[in-house]
């Protein structure tokens, strides 16, 4: 079964909330994260109270939440109809964890690539691995 993540947002001026004279950096970040998560195949959707009130009314968890917290408590984030966050947008790492895909998982990252690689592209002096010898850290599995 695929995990479903649903984000129920307060009334926004448009579907993304990234419009108007003053941009909310949290909405900009969330919109970018949403696009990224969808591209990763994660089942995530957002519902705006103004543009999609039927989605709010159709979900008993959301209805009950709104009866207690009101729209001031939004956004509400549900994972398989379980409340996981309220009043804020989770980070990309949190969304990945909610979807069962921790950040960095299945992204092709290995000890043989990146800052801990046994190559000249990332000198140890630059030290993303704390200045230790990258090849020795890569072989021990103690990479960044």
Helices (H), the chain: 25-39, 53-58, 60-69, 92-98, 134-140
pLDDT at 55: 97
pLDDT at 20: 67
Residues sharing a CB contact under 8 Å with residue 71, sequence separation 6 or more, in sequence order = 10, 11, 49
pLDDT at 23: 76
pLDDT at 12: 81
pLDDT at 68: 97
pLDDT at 13: 76
pLDDT at 18: 65
pLDDT at 43: 97
The model carries a pTM of 0.69
DSSP 123: -
Q: Which two tokens stand for residue 97?
A: 């964890």
pLDDT at 104: 55
Average pLDDT of adjacent 10-residue blocks, the chain of 144 residues: 93 71 84 95 95 96 98 97 96 95 56 44 43 40 42
How far is the C-alpha of 119 from the C-alpha of 123, rounded, in Å?
Answer: 8
| Residue-wise burial string across 127-142, b where 16 or more C-beta atoms lie within 10 A, e elsewhere | eebeeeebeebbeeee
């Amino acid at each position: 079964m695929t995990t479903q993540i649903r984000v129920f947002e307060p009334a926004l001026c448009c579907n993304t909330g990234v419009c108007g004279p003053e941009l909310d950096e949290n909405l900009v970040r969330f919109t970018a994260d949403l696009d990224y998560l969808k591209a990763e195949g994660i089942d995530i959707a957002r519902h705006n109270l103004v543009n999609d009130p039927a989605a709010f009314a159709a979900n008993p968890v959301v209805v009950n939440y709104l009866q207690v917290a009101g729209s001031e408590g939004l956004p509400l984030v549900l994972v398989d109809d379980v409340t996981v966050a309220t009043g804020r947008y989770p980070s990309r790492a949190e969304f990945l964890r909610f979807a069962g895909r921790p950040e960095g998982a299945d992204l092709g990252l290995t000890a043989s690539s990146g800052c801990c690689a046994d190559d000249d592209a990332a000198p140890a002096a630059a030290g993303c691995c704390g200045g230790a010898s990258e090849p020795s850290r890569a072989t021990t599995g103690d990479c960044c």
